[in-house]
Structure 1
Amino acid sequence: MPKQRPEPLDDELTERPSKSQLKREMHALQALGETLIAMQPAERARFPLSDDMLRAIDETARIRSHEGRRRHMQYVGKLIRKEDLAAIQAVFDGIEQEKQQRDHAFHRLEKWRDRLIDEGDPAAEQWLTEHPDTDRQTLRQLIRNAQRERDQDKPPASARKLFKFLRDTVQL
């Protein structure tokens, strides 16, 4: 007669994640570490990272061997487990929100540029009303050049200059 195993308690089943789940979590932490390593030092400074973690990130730059880098990334993943993941995620969320706001502002400027080129002076007057510190003469010259390029089916170099001028005016 085969040995009968004792029935596991429900608590044991729900508390312990599977080995596969643990591996997925470790890979996710390693990916987070790779993201932090890929950032510029100024961006990375926004994150609440321990000194050990910062040293490990800086050390990554000098590792050239593929296998050495793989092992080091495992070490970085191990160190990240000790970090405050909620605070790190909050910084990532803030960065993503800033990016979305910047993208939205760029889309608004693109719409303004297209409207200025399509409508001409009436749109320019409205732009100047909303942004009185804009150089009127430069704005109108860029609009005329962009309209001329559009009418002659030339590449939109002046439209790009107009966009850059608008971006500099609103200081994005």
Structure 2
Amino acid sequence: MNQRWYNDEPPTEGRGRSAKKRAAEAVEELAKRLVALPEAACRKLPLSADLRKELQLARDTEAMGARKRQVKHFAGEMRRREEEIEAIQTFLEGTDQVNLQARREFHHLEELRDRLCEPATFAEALDEAMQACPSLDRETLSGLARSVHSSADKRAAREIFRRLRDGAVKS
């Protein structure tokens, strides 16, 4: 009596219960993410009219329990439209890349400002800033940096960052 407790046959081309649950949970996480998006981003989403209505209903629901149910309902509606889910994910990935690039630029400008505010790295940072943003006024930037060097003037440090940001946008 040789009983086997496992299946020798390779798995068939079908989705098991666990795979279906994982897919449903992924769509629900996507629905939560869409509900949490700012209004301006929601308007740009590639949604059909009925999904847009469901999204707005979920966003407008304020009570926590009701909101969770509404998000689950919205996710259920989304699961019926796989092609729209793919379009939404592609849109969000593009948005994420844009946000990531903006964050990197912001951090670079902060780092450049910090180097300008440090007397030891000022000269090198000033040359880098002038190469990156030729529209900057070298004398004004130097004066602001001297103010930071001499008296740790936070207002001048903020003004340096503003000028770097504005110069980077113009370039």
- The interval holding the TM-score normalised by the smaller chain is 0.7 to 0.9
Of 65, 68, 78, 2:66 maps to 68
Gapped runs of 5+ residues in structure 2? Answer: 1-6
Is 1:87 the counterpart of 2:94 in the alignment? no
Moved more, 48-57 or 87-96: 87-96
Deviation, structure 1 residue 42:
1.6
CA shift digits 1:6-34 (9 cap, x unpaired): xx9958x4333332332222122111111
| Gap change, CA 1:68 and 1:115, over 3 Å in 2 | closer
Runs of 4+ in 1 over 6 A off after TM superposition: none
Is 1:24 the counterpart of 2:22 in the alignment? yes
Give me the whole-angstrom Cα distance separating, in 1, the residues matched to 2:66 and 2:124: 63
Gapped runs of 5+ residues in structure 1? Answer: 1-7
**TM-score of the pair, normalised by structure 2:** 0.76
1:36-55 correspondence runs (5 A): 36-55=34-53
Give me the whole-angstrom Cα distance separating, in 1, the residues matched to 2:95 and 2:145: 34
Deviation, structure 1 residue 66:
3.5
Contact 2:133/2:164 (<8 A) preserved: no
| Gap change, CA 1:148 and 1:51, over 3 Å in 2 | same
Give me the whole-angstrom Cα distance separating, in 2, the residues matched to 1:64 and 1:101: 33
The one-letter amino acid paired with 1:165 is: R
Contact 2:144/2:156 (<8 A) preserved: yes
The DSSP-based 3-state class of the residue aligned with 2:60 is coil
The one-letter amino acid paired with 1:69 is: R
Residue 131 of structure 1 is matched in structure 2 by: 133
Give me the whole-angstrom Cα distance separating, in 2, the residues matched to 1:115 and 1:127: 10
The one-letter amino acid paired with 2:107 is: H
CA shift digits 1:66-120 (9 cap, x unpaired): 4332322221111212152222221122112112211221232123223322333
Of 145, 148, 154, 1:146 maps to 148
- CA RMSD in angstroms comes to 2.8
Residue 3 of structure 1 is matched in structure 2 by: none
Percent sequence identity over aligned pairs: 29
CA shift digits 1:117-155 (9 cap, x unpaired): 2333564355334423213343122211221244xxx7x
